[in-house]
Structure 1
Amino acid sequence: MPNTHRNDHHPWSVFLIFLRLGLTSFGGPVAHLGYFHNEFVVRRGWLSERSYADLIALCQFLPGPASSQAGIALGLSRAGYAGALAAWLGFTLPSALAMILFAQGLASYGDAIAPGILHGLKVAAVAVIAQAIWSMGRKLCPDRSRITIMTIAACIALLSPSVWGQIGIIVMAGLAGSMLHKPAPVSAHDPLPIPVNPRTALGWLALFIILLAGLPIMAQLAPSQPMFLLDAFYRTGSLVFGGGHVILPLLQAEVIPMGWISNASFLAGYGAAQAVPGPLLTFAAFLGASMPGESGGWLGGTLALVAIFTPSFLLVTGALPFWERMRHQARMQAMLAGINAAVVGLLLAALYQPVWIHAIYQPQDFGLALVALTALMFWKLPPWLVVLGSSAAGWLLATVS
């Protein structure tokens, strides 16, 4: 029986519950949602099965990391706005601290780390992205029209690997989905147990739009590296449809052309992000901490982390009162289907550039990636174990060659 009598309505209690999840939730967004279901539906009885399913549907509809958004919504329902912040902090802090420390260690002692270890991290990223494409493609591209959208999106992304090119792909895919896709009728559900005043919700949505439009202008009027960082990471957090892995092409288009970080360090950090628990978007903390100059380190990691998750707070609190109406609109569902198919295409393009061309140089690299992919997909080994194994294998291959 679920325990509904715990004294867990206080923000501190919410923080401790999510901190434990942040320390133990390995396996990526899908696994996180499974942990949340066991903790909050089965054990604690915070909400019903159908309410939880409806909450996940909302978080998958919105841009942003679904598992972190679900945590924010659960904290909001339990202890108000302070609970939402407590849930996010508890779930995010462990991996964010680990990624900032890794960035600083790489900057200070990178030359002392065996090149094979870092190369193994990059090869592991190939396997992780390939697995994500396969699992997302089977779910999000089940028919000819969505496979076509995926293919076109991948081709355009390869020809125009810029942030605005990717935004254009998402917009066009939404329009194509609204014309080509016929969604199934919406099933019955329980109302979400999260009361948010509609007028307040509109204010949060307005703030989301103001920041999305205003930060680029502010970055041009008052140019500085922290302002450019806030603009880039806020925009990325506003456009991450389809889960944490889609952050890869968006952030790559933001930080690599600016010269903030090398491709090698980018992929090494992304590989390391697979080996820590909690949300994958804490990869942003690694990138912020890797920035050159005084804007990097702890300041840059914190700014990047706050910037990339702020859209999730604004969208979740702003969309909840209107979800009842939106979820029944077939056109909105069809647009989302097209966008999700394009997201798979963006990830497919990212598998080639920057992941493949900066990780697979020789036959043994391809063999290691194949073994890592087999371990993930068929042996069902946890990603952190595959990442550690790939690093060790990369070191061994570099030693014997």
Structure 2
Amino acid sequence: MLGIIKQKVGARGLSAPVFGDYMQRLSPIASAMRHFSSATKDMTVRDALNSALDEEMAADSSVFIMGEEVGEYQGAYKITKGLLHKYGPERVVDTPITEAGFTGLAVGAAYHGLKPVIEFMTFNFSMQAIDHIINSAAKSNYMSAGQINVPIVFRGPNGAAAGVGAQHSQCYGAWYGAVPGLKVIVPYSSEDARGLLKAAIRDPDPVVFLENEILYGESFPVSAEVLDPNFCLPIGKAKIEREGKDVTITAYSKMVGFALKAAEILEKDGINAEVINLRCIRPLDRDTINDSVRKTNRLVTVEEGFRQHGVGAEICAMVVEDSFGYLDAPVERIAGADVPTPYAANLERLAFPQIEDIVRATKRACYRSA
């Protein structure tokens, strides 16, 4: 802005002293404008996902949405609100309750250059379509010697909600994270949701995008940069949400918020925790995790999924392979209980990690009393 003013004022032939005084009087205005452009606003995760879908559909006519209740009902969780009215039924496609059927159709569309975004009402229902996700989507690029790209996004709520029972409350991060050919994204904040969904839609490979129902209505501050239609986050890059020197805590999705709250409690006891938001399970950001562990010399992993064969187990193995000599204490793993999710609220709470669990485990890692 100041550059434009300078050009126009200079064209009027003002002397250097007069021009300097003019610019000096403008500087508070310019400062305010810079502050305004970088100011943050609050945005829910729901709105972040909706805006990302809207902008990518507007920018690329090959992008379309398919799933149960995504159109007329505007999404079971209102992630697709307003999109049917804006883009029509050919690009926002309501389907029968047939995950295997509409997922197979979408994978076929991706073979032919379209970019489907498939919404599962819950990722538990993706089990009905797992053959297409893995055998039809994840393996095709490899089996075709790179001749067939499958640019498709499988998205929807993953993990536990509240009081919806075992068949709606499982985390599938470790399941899909074990599959070559897939990219697996696990957003936490509105910035994550917006930037990573855009990246997923633009990616030439199949992406599993695991959201969290509890986070949909949660608001996070976002900057003007995040709201830019061109904003995009790199897939496979973790974010250090909180810097620290005493212990590394890794988490993803809803558990990032729990880890951050635990870190605030630990700070009062003199433990300075570094919290890493993984953002992606596959590819996993080995460099960021190892660099942190080599600085803090301790590691705590947090996840809602099952402990056995879990994401935390993979991170622990990775750190042992790459940074074993830097560890000053055994690794602590915090995960969901090794049972199907109970329906009763009191038992459900016991089945998943809580903030106090993270605090206790971190104190153990730092040789403090639990």
Tell me if both proteins adopt one fold, taking TM over 0.5 as the criterion.
no
Higher helix share: 1
Structure with bigger strand share is 2
**If the TM-score is normalised by the length of the shorter chain, which range does it land in?**
under 0.3
Q: TM-score, normalised by structure 1?
A: 0.23
Q: Which has the larger radius of gyration?
A: 2
What TM-score, normalized by structure 2, do the two folds share?
Answer: 0.25
